[in-house]
Amino acid sequence: MEELLWHSIDVEGVLKELGTDPNRGLDEEEVRKRLEQYGYNRLKHEKRISPLTIFYNQFKNLLLLILILAVIFSALVGEIVDAAVILLIVVFCAVLGFIQEYRAERAIEALKEMLSPTIIVLRGGREVEIPLEELVPGDILPLEGGDKIPADARLIEIHSLRCDQASLTGESAPVSKNVRALPENTPVSDRKNMVFTGTTVSYGRGRVVVTSTGMKTEFGKIAEEVAAIDPGKTPLEKRTDEISKWLGGICLGISGLVAGISLVRELIGGSVDFEFIIKMTMFAVALAVAAVPEALAAIVTGTLALGMHAMARKNALVRKMSAVETLGCTTVICTDKTGTLTKGEMTVRRVFLSKRMVEVTGVGYTPEGEFRGSDEVNVIESKSFQLLLQGGLLCNDADINRKDDGKWSIKGDPTEGALVVAAAKAGLNIQKQRLTYPRIEEIPFSSERKLMTTVQKIDDSRCIAFMKGAPEVVLEKCSCIIEGDEIAELTPEKRAHVLETNGEMAQDALRVLAVAYRELESDSPLVEEQIERDMVFLGLIGMIDPPREEAIEAVRTCKKVRIKPIMITGDHKLTAVAIARELAIYKDGDLVLSGEELEKMTDDHFEDIVEKVTVYARV
């Protein structure tokens, strides 16, 4: 069942294959059978490592084993002080390594709690709350804004549904969903009729039927591939083993040579006895022990522990202490874009109105920044500018709030959140605006309409409709345009200029929305055909998930030490290149590969060009 290409089957076919009723879901007996057939909805985790195992693993080090042998031989020949000192070094190395790795294991365990423990599901015609791991293929789930997806599922019903898939595909903007069947060869990132484990609903609502759970999900497949990779030994472990073998060989060789020469000399003199053999053996052992660099293990362990501790302070967990040294051998760093090189927070960068482009400063959801144009923009005095930002704020379902730690976050769609933040930067009081101009009607966004319209009450006799959406679609609904603070006719020339500006902003990888408005009488019929016509075009708002300031510096540092950074993202080429160029990862002449191009490419061709590739997009 799991091998079917669910995205290529229509809704009726999916429900039939899964043997489920969209209005009743599965009954308990069927759920029990499917749990036995498919197993629980959980990823296979590595077996938890016990403290004893972590401590035991510290002795899987050839250098420490040589030191342990040195302890034994020192004790046998009566060198108790030497044996005690070497034993202290062995214990120090083992305990220090244990403490660092034990802390890392406990921290990783704490990070594994990523999915909600319970989920609402339709069972026997009733919505019930069940443990997340008891979800099975065929279950019907309702979805709402903010929900985290617990399994891979096929959409069967949607209402303006958009999902944030950055955790799976790396796409920074929410993806609009639909229920239409798609071609079989559609890549995961373009399967708009599916939702995937670990992603979230950013806007709208809908219903889905679960198609895959646990290790059969897209996340599960990734986890399985990662688990199948043999990490091998780190460069340090390999070199330490080589040195240990080399030292062991030299120690044994010198000891054997000295003992052999002495024995031969005594044999020639004819004075060899049992007592002499014992003395020579003890001498050879003492010589071997003396040749072992006891301090080397302590120095290596101490240095790695310091590195591990320093990385932990930077919120980077290293599970195995010897892996710290691997960073020193790094020549290429492949990194995700969304949330790693970028903040993962959509930010308004440019605003266009009245033939004027305004740059917006500030990064992320913190409502702090300025509006800068070729001439100084006073957002307080410019009525059209205020109206544009007000439209973006009121035709909007997102909100921003400040957490206890002082950081700002959004509730709702990231794109809408960026509009709210921009309005707050201009001094608009979010709550006051929404209370003063309450929403009395809404025509929701859909992937077919590509726009959203709301009607706000001004007073008992007047209302105002705000529209936002794709620029070309919004323009079709407009007959006028704001110029300065005056309303003028939207001529074909002005329309063409707006579309040209939209193209220029899109070339810079900005996600562009247009905003328009129309004043209405309170007794006007609030229907789509009457509201969404003869609108006044206000302007364009361009936003992007911007690079982190610290990421720009990190890339610069990498290049200084001749480490090549490579960006890997699920975003489109245009967006990926724009961000990579801003980060100085991409420069003219570099190559960009998409996931589709990569799949079609031969190994030989890839080997020929791989050194020139700095960006991988849609992968």
CA-to-CA distance for 389 and 423, rounded, in angstroms? 5
In degrees, to the nearest 5, what angle opens at C-alpha 534 toward C-alphas 444 and 349? 60
CA-to-CA distance for 439 and 464, rounded, in angstroms? 10
Active-site choice (21, 190, 336, 399)? 336
Q: Is 363 exposed, middle or buried (0-12, 13-18, 19+ CB in 10 A)?
A: middle
**618: helix, coil or strand?**
coil
* Number of residues that make up the chain: 619
CA-to-CA distance for 353 and 342, rounded, in angstroms? 28
DSSP conformation letters of 471-507: HHHHHHTEEEEEETTEEEE--HHHHHHHHHHHHHHHH
| Known catalytic membership, residue 336 | yes
Q: What are the Cα distances from residue 39, in Å, to 12, 115, 137?
A: 25, 18, 10
Q: Which helix (H) or strand (E) holds 602?
A: none
Which two tokens mark 321? 């202490």
Residues with Cβ < 8 Å from 140, sequence gap 6 or more? 20, 22, 25, 26, 121, 122, 156, 207, 208, 209, 210
Region of residue 270 (phi > 0: left; psi between -120 and 50: alpha; otherwise: beta): left
Residues with Cβ < 8 Å from 319, sequence gap 6 or more? 101, 104, 105, 108
Helices (H), 371-485: 383-394, 414-425, 430-436, 471-476
Give me the amino acid identity at 317.
Answer: L
CA-to-CA distance for 281 and 231, rounded, in angstroms? 42
CA-to-CA distance for 574 and 182, rounded, in angstroms? 24
Q: What are the Cα distances from residue 600, in Å, to 189, 306, 546, 595, 597?
A: 17, 45, 31, 9, 5
Nearest Cα neighbor of 135 from 152, 148, 160 is 152
**445: helix, coil or strand?**
coil
Q: Which stretches of 185-341 are assigned E, i.e. beta strand?
A: 194-195, 200-212, 332-336
Is the distance from CB of 547 to CB of 349 less than 8 angstroms?
Answer: no
**183: helix, coil or strand?**
coil
Is the distance from CB of 138 to CB of 346 less than 8 angstroms?
Answer: no
Residues with Cβ < 8 Å from 481, sequence gap 6 or more? 487, 488, 489, 490, 494, 498, 536, 537
Residues with catalytic annotation?
Answer: 336
